[in-house]
Structure 1
Amino acid sequence: MLSVDRAQVMAYRIAAQELHRPHGDVASLAVLDLGVQDAQRGSARLALTARLDVDPAVLSGERFRDTLHGADVTLAWTHRGAPHLHRAAELPAMAASLVPVNDVDAQARLAWQRGDVAKAGMPPTEALRTAAVALHDVVDATMTKGAASERVTPRLPEGLVRWCRPCQATHIHEQVMRLTTLRAGVRLEPDVFPATLTPLSGGLLAQEPDTAACTEVARRYLRLHGPATAAETAGFLGTTKRVAGAMWPEELVEVDFAGRQAWLTPEDVGALENPPEPDVVRLLPPSDPLLQARDRRTLVPDDGHHKQVWRVLGNPGVLLANGEIVATWRAKTAGRTRLDVTIEPLLPLHPADHAAVEDEAARVAAARGFPNVRVSVS
């Protein structure tokens, strides 16, 4: 059995997620195999900036949408109901993976308690199917999320809508909408605010459970975040360990990861055995693909630092240097021409990395459309 330590796993993941910037082709980015989360405005843009060997200015402003369009990449609510960039050609398979395999799976993905199921008045799988059909019927043109909610809410049973105090109105249940929009054949417009929906051609993208589609997503998680366990994969999918076990890929390779059992796809064993040196410095945005692994102690061994990296609201970005997450960072504008980047160390910063941090901050600024940048360490 292959035995690996944390440093080896970090080096493997950094390479698997192409943080060495091996090319400049958006469409072939490995992280798009699973999707790139756009949790905060512009975070997906910066995740691509960290990986692509291109002038970051091509990802700034409206050019970002043009770049995505040219690569046939778009946005949709997918894993855990979060918005992710995906290759447009893969949306049908991704939609199929979102159809719960049973009521336990559906309830977990909805994060519903028994009381929520009782209020719905129907099994969770039926609730999601009902919402998908209704959304498909009403989203017949590009419209804002609010307009879509206004149209679909009257068509849904009382148990699938909620009173929204800030809006002083009744809306479709937020997670129900997020988990069913792609199934309904509806995507999101990338880099458009407020959230805007556009129907895809054809009917519903997915109606029945597709275990093979779920298994493929689990396999892709292992390729980017392995070696990993079924429980960790379940956390990414938003389901239970038992459900993830039922969709677990066959012919995986068992790995001893620092004394615990984990799994990896066979074709990636060689890369894990001999990963390239993780000699890169990168400013990664909040919810970057690297941070999506569910074994957070692998990414950040000190539990005391977890609350600084993963917050309930308003996560910072992180500074990756030579295989370690060594700091968090935030940026704020200073007028129309400068971006100020503040670094908050978690570990001692090596003086040799300071120039690389300046360079990466300049890339972040260029991707956000700022010609100037100032870096400070708090």
Structure 2
Amino acid sequence: MVETLTREQVMAHRIAAQGLHRDRPAAIAALASLGLQDAGPTARLALAARSDGDPDPVARGLVDGWTHRGAPHHHPPDERNAIAAAARPFDDADAAARLNWSGPEQRRVGIPAREAIDRAADALAEVVTEPLTKGAASGAVTKLLPDALLRDCRGCATVHVNEQLFRLSAFPVGVGLDPTGRTLLLIPPPAGWERPVEGDPGRAARLVLDYLRVLGPAGPREVADFVGTSAAAFAPAWEAALPGLVEVEVEAGDGAQRSSTRDVHPAWLPADELDAALGAPDPDVVRFLPPLDPMLQARDRPLLVPDEALRKDLYKIIGNPGALLADGEVVGTWRPRASGKKLTLEVAPVVPLAPDVRARLDDEAERVAAARGLRLAGITGV
């Protein structure tokens, strides 16, 4: 029998699985295994929303690198090699999808996509033997690559290696990031680094399981989109993971929105997460989630945020606000406004906030300010 989960159960499960009740330290490890995206204070605020401990990912022993979609993510240092192996493209179609290369672009380049990544990775391995700024590394790599892999960059007013190619070539050779200084540094691989040679569906299955453990239930398209490829290209990883998954049905919308025929779709969870999903605790938490927070990384965005106008506001191309989470729902957005050492949070709820939710905002806002090393001046908009 296939179990059915309501949207409310899915939200409650994700909130619990991601440690947003602040009572599940193992959830932090699960999130780090998938990757905590690093963009300004995002990772610090995501950790502050989930733990009373130090919100600094570096202090927690996490390390930074360009992984999923070429975006910087914090991961446990002892898992970096396994993640690099799991993320190795299976073939040229997979590599091209990760590079965002269209058919005409691939023909223009004239170099198979996976070979292009390998060439750039060879160059990075040769160049990054000590900490280097991104600009210095890019300039040195550019000199080692054929013209077909370079781009005329208007922003830089120069020609350099394609940006996404540059990012995707770093992790295979263990080149990481040091974001702690004023200037981002690329750092050499750790001792004993093993460069992945071939895509391995068995190893890539860990990405499926890691995603579904904290953002499930979901399907193959959502996982592939998070990784940065197409569902067709990532199919070998999904097939390898299937024996450890269980299929469920997910009902969309709340009780008032469901049709008489039930709006349901198939999705999957790790088999050992089904009971937790069915019995997830009430999501009675109020949290200021930063932009790019793990909760907001779910690829089934209409399920996460049914309100279309709110969803468009949350997922802009640039300048995304944070999300206000209250009792299992995203109920608005927020933006930080810093002035000197003071921080004001501008909140824009899309529904009236219950008195008990409003009463909990101050404590959560204090956490946001503390995680940024500032003092809370107040909250506006509520």
TM-score range, shorter chain: over 0.9
What's the offset of the Cα at 1:183? Answer: 0.7
Which residue, 233, 242, 248 being the options, matches 1:250? 242
The within-5 A match list for 1:104-253 is: 104-200=93-189, 201-202=191-192, 205-248=195-238, 249-251=241-243, 252-253=245-246
Spell out structure 1 runs of 4+ moving beyond 4 A. Answer: 23-26
Q: Is the 8 A contact 1:133 1:204 kept in 2?
A: no
SS at match of 1:95: helix
**CA distance in 2 between partners of 1:247 and 1:166 (Å):** 37
Long gaps (5+) in structure 2: 252-263
Match of residue 291 from structure 2: 286
**Deviation digits for residues 240-278 of structure 1 (CA, Å, limit 9, x no counterpart):** 112232211122111011111111110001101100110
SS at match of 1:85: strand
**CA distance in 2 between partners of 1:204 and 1:159 (Å):** 28
What's the offset of the Cα at 1:78? Answer: 0.4
What's the offset of the Cα at 1:284? Answer: 0.5
What's the offset of the Cα at 1:106? Answer: 0.7
The 3 A distance-change label for structure 1 pair 257 and 281 is same
The 3 A distance-change label for structure 1 pair 157 and 203 is farther
SS at match of 1:227: coil
Long gaps (5+) in structure 1: none
**Deviation digits for residues 309-329 of structure 1 (CA, Å, limit 9, x no counterpart):** 100111110010000000100
1:349 to 2:353 alignment: yes
Q: Is the 8 A contact 2:81 2:193 kept in 1?
A: no
1:361 to 2:362 alignment: no
Q: Is the 8 A contact 2:310 2:332 kept in 1?
A: no
Q: Is the 8 A contact 1:331 1:342 kept in 2?
A: yes
Q: Is the 8 A contact 1:18 1:30 kept in 2?
A: no
SS at match of 1:18: coil
CA-atom RMSD, angstroms? 1.6
1:274 to 2:245 alignment: no
TM-score scaled by structure 1? 0.93
**Deviation digits for residues 192-231 of structure 1 (CA, Å, limit 9, x no counterpart):** 3432111123456323212222111011111111111111
**CA distance in 2 between partners of 1:119 and 1:185 (Å):** 29
What's the offset of the Cα at 1:14? Answer: 0.3
The 3 A distance-change label for structure 1 pair 356 and 191 is farther
What's the offset of the Cα at 1:25? Answer: 7.9
**CA distance in 1 between partners of 2:25 and 2:202 (Å):** 31
TM-score scaled by structure 2? 0.92
SS at match of 1:21: coil
**CA distance in 2 between partners of 1:174 and 1:195 (Å):** 15
What's the offset of the Cα at 1:181? Answer: 0.4
**CA distance in 1 between partners of 2:42 and 2:36 (Å):** 9
The within-5 A match list for 1:270-349 is: 270-336=275-341, 338-349=342-353
Match of residue 261 from structure 2: none
**CA distance in 2 between partners of 1:79 and 1:136 (Å):** 20
What's the offset of the Cα at 1:164? Answer: 1.5
What's the offset of the Cα at 1:24? Answer: 5.9
The 3 A distance-change label for structure 1 pair 229 and 261 is same
The within-5 A match list for 1:56-67 is: 58-59=54-55, 64=56
The 3 A distance-change label for structure 1 pair 203 and 8 is closer
**Number of residues of Structure 1 aligned to a counterpart in Structure 2:** 365
**CA distance in 1 between partners of 2:145 and 2:301 (Å):** 39
Mean Cα deviation higher: 17-26 or 45-54 = 17-26
SS at match of 2:249: strand
**Deviation digits for residues 5-57 of structure 1 (CA, Å, limit 9, x no counterpart):** 1000000000000001115689x53211200111x311111011111123xxx
Match of residue 376 from structure 1: 380
